[in-house]
């Protein structure tokens, strides 16, 4: 049988090299097509590199730059009669691949512009300030802790008898929807909450409401089969007008809003301690609407893959009228000079915390920084470190260098104050397997990135000597070597991770995700 039946023998003899080259080109083209069509988007690494709630992907694959580099290589390496058709083919396939993705059921949203983010930030800040005027006890920090705690319990208790213990925090429509058609064979665990963002504060009828967007992931098991889900949800919390927010302990721990006892309610919503029937929204914020904005399944496989950073060149999002908040903070602490305090904060808190946290991540000694981070942040990254461990991988971060730190926002309320800073840094970011072989990233080329870090502490806490000590309990000064998973110092039996004694890191948000 002839190898090329459509060509005559003489033509074949005269053009053997060209035909052979064309054959190889066709094979290469097919390989490229398969790669473009079926290879999944690449993922970030690093503790702040997207691991807070998702698989590491930011939603934009960064594939455009990779394809551009490939096209340049093809044009420079192959002859024009081969390279030009091949480039056209690649561009067409890439176009239709992205068109197919945009038309799929996955939710893909374009990144809002800097101006859009600033406008939304301004609107939300004004609404929160108005809420503080009517509710002097309102604390954004405590409210977000409350949201995080309720979200975690909602899914942890879902379908279980303990679900009744959060009934006072759910309006009837949410309770009814959540308790009907329960599949007793299903369960939700390994809940990782990433970013929680207040979208709006508004009034309607007799209620004040707050809408928040929650980005998370969890494992759902049905009849022994487990699937990991990434979600973006919008939860709406409502509360009767004229009600003041509860004290910190009650907000954090979902206690009975009437007597302050641990949450233990009957199916009817009556506290088993004070025997008071707690109606949703009358004493505490309660959920009256849950919407899933985006959802998809994913796997923690592929942790060694990388993609280009997104947003490092974006302008820093700065809180509207930040000068007023700086003045308020300066006055509250009787500071002689703001610049001196800012230098102390960046050198002793931001830089040192950044260095220690990245070192703990790289060495997989996450317990070493338990007293420096919030419960939610600690649990989120503990999940990802466990995922690396299951795959026998280690994300190494070498030669960490901080390039610049910008102030982004300050919040001061009755109970807590917070600083959000944008940290520009670089490091050798790579993944090694159990044999020590590099299978992702680079240990030679530094990776430049930036992230928004939010630190919180109790309002009124002054600069104590222990506050700037990374290795001692900020309450008793004992070594911070016996904190445990709950961040309770075994020397003084005090919980450290709530910011009551010193600054703690509450959240890390990527550039493209941060909205203020």
What is the per-residue pLDDT across 154-202, written as a single tens digit (0 to 9) for each? 999 888 888 899 999 999 999 998 888 666 667 888 888 888 999 999 9
Q: Which residue has the higher pLDDT, 54 or 213?
A: 213
Same domain as 288, residue 327: no
> In this structure, is residue 117 part of a structural domain?
no
Closest Cα partner for 246 from 301, 211, 285, 276? 285
Please tell me which residue, 8 or 403, carries the higher pLDDT value.
Answer: 403
222 lies in some domain: yes
Give 462's contacts (C-beta < 8 A, 6+ positions apart).
333
Whether residue 363 sits in one domain with residue 266: no
Q: Are residues 260 and 336 in the same domain?
A: no
Are residues 97 and 156 both part of a single domain?
A: no
**CATH (domain of 437):** 3.10.450.240
Residue 420 Cα to chain centre, angstroms: 15
The predicted pLDDT at position 135 comes to: 94
Same domain, yes or no: 147 and 268: yes
* Model confidence pLDDT, tens digit, residues 3-22: 334 445 554 455 555 555 55
Domain closes at, from 84, 102, 120: 102
Q: 93 pLDDT exceeds 50? A: yes
- Alpha-carbon distance of 106 to 41, in angstroms, equals 14
Residue with the bigger pLDDT between 424 and 391: it is 424
- The whole-number average pLDDT for the span 466-481 is 77
pTM of the model: 0.77
Domain extent at residue 406: 322-510
Residues 170 and 294 both lie in one domain: yes
496 and 383 together in one domain: yes
| Residue 346 placed within a domain | yes
* Residue 77 falls inside a structural domain: yes
Looking at residue 4, what is its pLDDT? 38
Does residue 157 lie within any of the structural domains?
A: yes
Do 347 and 474 share a domain, yes or no? yes
How many angstroms from the chain centroid is the CA of residue 234?
15
346 with 461, same domain? yes
Q: Which residues of 86-123 are buried (b: 16+ CB within 10 A; e: fewer)?
A: bbeebeebbeeeeeeeeeeeeeeeebeeeeebbebbee
Phi, psi for 407 (deg, rounded to 5): -75, 130
The answer to whether the CB of 217 falls within 8 A of the CB of 231 is yes
Q: Which residues pair with 203 in a beta bridge?
A: 208
Q: How far apart are CA 197 and CA 515, in angstroms?
A: 8
Q: Flag whether 116 is in a domain.
A: no
Burial 58-73 (b: 16+ CB within 10 A, else e): bbbbbbeeebeebbee
> Is 2 a member of any domain?
no
Number of domains in the chain: 3
In whole angstroms, what is the distance from residue 248 CA to residue 460 CA?
15
Looking at the fold, whether 345 and 448 belong to one and the same domain comes out as yes
Least confident span in 263-267, 306-310, 370-374, 431-435: 306-310
Q: What is the mean pLDDT of the chain?
A: 79
Q: How much is the average pLDDT of 388-403? A: 89
Alpha carbon separation from 347 to 239, 351, 353, 354, 405 (Å, rounded):
41, 5, 9, 10, 10
User: Which token pair is 183?
Assistant: 């599949």
Average pLDDT over residues 466-487: 77
Q: Residue 412 pLDDT > 50, yes or no? A: yes
What is residue 120's predicted lDDT score, i.e. its pLDDT?
Answer: 80
Q: Give pLDDT, residue 214.
A: 93
Helices (H) and strands (E) in the chain, counts: 12, 11
422 within some domain:
yes
For 177, how many CA atoms within 13 A lie in the half-sphere containing its CB? 11
Most confident of 101-105, 142-146, 392-396, 471-475: 142-146
Asked whether the CA dihedral 166, 170, 176, 178 is positive or negative, the reply is: negative
Pair 195, 343 in one domain? no
For 235-274, what is each residue's pLDDT tens digit? Answer: 999 999 999 999 888 888 888 888 888 888 888 888 888 8
Pairwise CA distance, residues 371 & 233, whole Å: 30
| DSSP assignments along 422-485, one per residue | EEEEEEEEEEE-TT--EEEE-SSS-EEEEEEEEEEEETT----TGGG-TTB-TTT--BTT--TT
Same domain membership, residue 70 and residue 178: no
SS3 per residue for 293-329: EEEEEECCCCCCCCCCCCCCCCCCCCCCCHHHHHHHH
Helix axes 80-102, 63-77, angle to 10 degrees: 170
Lowest mean pLDDT among 121-135, 275-289, 422-436, 455-469: 455-469
Structure tokens at 358: 């990245």
pLDDT of res. 8: 52
The pLDDT tens digits for 429-444 are 888 888 989 888 888 8
pLDDT tens for each residue of 130-147: 999 999 999 999 999 999
pLDDT, tens only, 31-69: 554 444 444 334 455 665 655 555 443 333 334 444 554
């Amino acid at each position: 049988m002839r190898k090329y039946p459509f060509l005559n023998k003489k033509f074949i003899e005269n053009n053997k090299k060209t035909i052979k080259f064309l054959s190889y080109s066709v094979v290469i083209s097919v390989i490229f097509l398969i790669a473009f069509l079926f290879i999944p988007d690449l993922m970030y690494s690093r503790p702040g590199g997207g691991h807070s709630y998702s698989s590491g992907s930011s939603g934009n694959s960064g594939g455009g730059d990779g394809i551009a580099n490939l096209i340049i290589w093809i044009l420079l390496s192959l002859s024009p009669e081969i390279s030009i058709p091949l480039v056209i083919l690649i561009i067409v396939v890439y176009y239709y691949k992205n068109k197919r993705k945009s038309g799929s059921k996955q939710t893909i949203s374009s990144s809002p512009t800097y101006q859009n983010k600033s406008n939304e930030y301004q609107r939300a800040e004004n609404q929160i300030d108005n809420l503080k005027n009517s509710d002097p006890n309102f604390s954004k920090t405590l409210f977000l802790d409350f949201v995080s705690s309720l979200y975690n319990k909602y899914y942890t208790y879902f379908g279980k008898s303990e679900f009744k213990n959060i009934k006072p925090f759910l309006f009837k429509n949410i309770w009814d929807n959540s308790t009907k058609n329960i599949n007793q064979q299903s369960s939700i665990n390994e809940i990782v909450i990433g970013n929680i963002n207040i979208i709006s504060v508004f009034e309607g009828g007799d209620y004040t409401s707050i809408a928040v967007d929650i980005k998370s992931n969890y494992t759902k098991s049905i009849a022994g089969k487990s699937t990991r889900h990434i979600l973006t949800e919008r939860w709406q919390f409502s509360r009767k007008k004229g009600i003041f927010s509860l004290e910190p302990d009650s907000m954090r721990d979902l206690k009975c809003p009437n007597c302050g006892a641990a949450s233990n309610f009957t199916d009817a919503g009556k506290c088993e301690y004070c025997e008071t029937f707690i109606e949703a929204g009358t004493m505490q914020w309660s959920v009256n609407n849950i919407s899933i904005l985006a959802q998809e399944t994913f796997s923690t496989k592929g942790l060694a893959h990388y993609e280009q950073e997104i947003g490092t060149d974006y302008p820093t999002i700065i809180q509207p009228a930040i000068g007023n908040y700086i003045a308020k903070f300066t006055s509250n602490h009787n500071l002689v000079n703001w610049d001196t305090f800012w230098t102390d904060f960046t050198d002793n808190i931001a830089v040192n915390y950044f260095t220690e946290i990245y070192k703990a991540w790289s060495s997989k000694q996450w317990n070493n920084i338990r007293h420096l981070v919030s419960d939610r942040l600690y649990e989120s990254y503990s999940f990802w470190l466990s995922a690396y461990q299951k795959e026998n991988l280690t994300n190494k971060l070498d030669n960490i260098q901080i390039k610049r730190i910008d102030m982004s926002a300050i919040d001061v309320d009755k109970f807590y104050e917070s600083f959000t800073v944008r940290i520009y840094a670089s490091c050798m970011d790579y993944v090694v397997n159990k044999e020590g072989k590099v299978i992702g990233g680079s240990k030679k080329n530094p990776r430049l990135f930036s992230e928004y870090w939010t630190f919180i502490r109790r309002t009124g806490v002054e600069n104590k000597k222990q506050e700037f000590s990374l290795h001692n309990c900020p309450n008793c000064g004992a070594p911070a070597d016996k904190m445990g998973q709950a961040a309770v110092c075994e020397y003084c039996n005090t919980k450290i991770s709530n910011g009551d004694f010193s600054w703690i890191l509450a959240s890390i948000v990527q550039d493209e995700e941060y909205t203020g």
